[in-house]
Amino acid sequence: MSHVYLNGQWLPIEKAHVSVLDRGFIFGDGVYEVIPVYNRRVFALEAHLKRLDRSLAGIRLSPPLDAEQWQPIIARLVQETETDDSSIYIQITRGVAPRDHAFPANTQATVFAMAKPMTAVPEEWLSQGIKVVTHEDNRWLHCDLKTTALLANVLLRQYAVDHKAVECILIRDGFVTEGAASNIIVVHEEQLLFPPRNHLILPGITYDLVIELAKKHGIPFKEAPVTRSQLQEASELLMTSSTREIVPITEMDGKKVGAGVPGPLFRELLSLYQGLK
């Protein structure tokens, strides 16, 4: 039986418990990270741990473990997972303290990590594309931090589910930000358009890698604000995330995207991305 890591201990998941006074439970006062594993090889670990530390710094919480200390924990999680492809989930909160909004003094962080099998993206998503809807981005202004306070994202993702869609593309003040649980890339006038990596979006690891692939292979791209009209006029739309990689979007708000089938840039980028693994 595989175990989870909790505050220095290895436990069966049913025996892993945290206090009801943990600030992650009371306030959502914590951050998390999800790291993909392919054929028992951890993918882009350095980039994921750097993002974890950046999120911790953003909520003014000192990293309880450094990259060297994470290595054996992650290695054991990978080793004990039943499947070759999995994802590592890490969550760190500010710890247990009497309920008070202000930061407590001298509190030990709660550190939790587990692995679970990674479900492959359905083949029809890649061959036919997926349906999405759009919605006004009504989240807070620090979306660049991967915090556990995800209620707004949960509601937006449920909005997609309610409309029989896979994802919800968010728009703030007339400009595309990201998906409820993904990044969005727009193909407009034969150019990849990436909404800028600022405080309004989470800088996705897959998103960053696609930008690097475009640079390396001479694919025209621009990282700049993307308007609602450019989104609506797109010839292709792509969704990226660490566990879903790159997925084509072929229907948005009940209308076809481009020709309504996965396009050539999607196929090229997916092939290039698969070559990184």
The whole-number pLDDT of residue 2 equals 79
Per the CB < 8 A criterion, the answer to whether 134 and 163 are in contact is: no
Say yes or no: 99 and 143 in one domain: no
The whole-number pLDDT of residue 231 equals 98
What pLDDT, in 10s, does the model give residues 245-255?
A: 999 999 999 99
216 is catalytic: no
The whole-number pLDDT of residue 68 equals 97
Say yes or no: 44 and 104 in one domain: yes
For residues 202 and 143, give the distance between their C-alpha atoms in angstroms, rounded to a whole number: 6
- Residue 97: domain span: 4-117
CATH code where residue 83 lies: 3.30.470.10
| Mean predicted confidence (pLDDT) in 131-148 | 97
Last residue of a domain, one of 117, 136, 170: 117
| Beta-sheet strand order (sheet of 86-93) | 9-11, 4-6, 110-117, 86-93, 30-38, 41-42
Say yes or no: 151 and 91 in one domain: no
Q: Which residues contact 228 (CB under 8 A, 6 or more apart)?
A: 171, 174, 175, 176
What pLDDT, in 10s, does the model give residues 199-247?
A: 999 989 999 999 999 999 999 999 999 999 999 999 999 999 999 999 9
Say yes or no: 89 and 168 in one domain: no
Catalytic residue among 15, 50, 131, 146: 146
The overall average pLDDT reported for the chain is 97
| Mean predicted confidence (pLDDT) in 177-199 | 97
What pLDDT, in 10s, does the model give residues 24-42?
A: 999 999 999 999 999 999 9
Say yes or no: 222 and 268 in one domain: yes
Cα-based distances in Å from 25 to 79, 163, 186: 29, 30, 36
The whole-number pLDDT of residue 76 equals 97
The whole-number pLDDT of residue 65 equals 98
| Mean predicted confidence (pLDDT) in 168-175 | 98
Share of the chain above pLDDT 70, in %: 100
Say yes or no: 166 and 31 in one domain: no
Last residue of a domain, one of 117, 151, 180: 117
Picking from 177, 11, 16, the residue whose alpha carbon sits closest to that of residue 80 is: 11
* pLDDT of 1 over the 80 cut: no
The pTM assigned to this predicted structure is 0.95
What pLDDT, in 10s, does the model give residues 80-101?
A: 999 999 999 999 999 999 999 9
Say yes or no: 29 and 57 in one domain: yes
Last residue of a domain, one of 89, 117, 145: 117
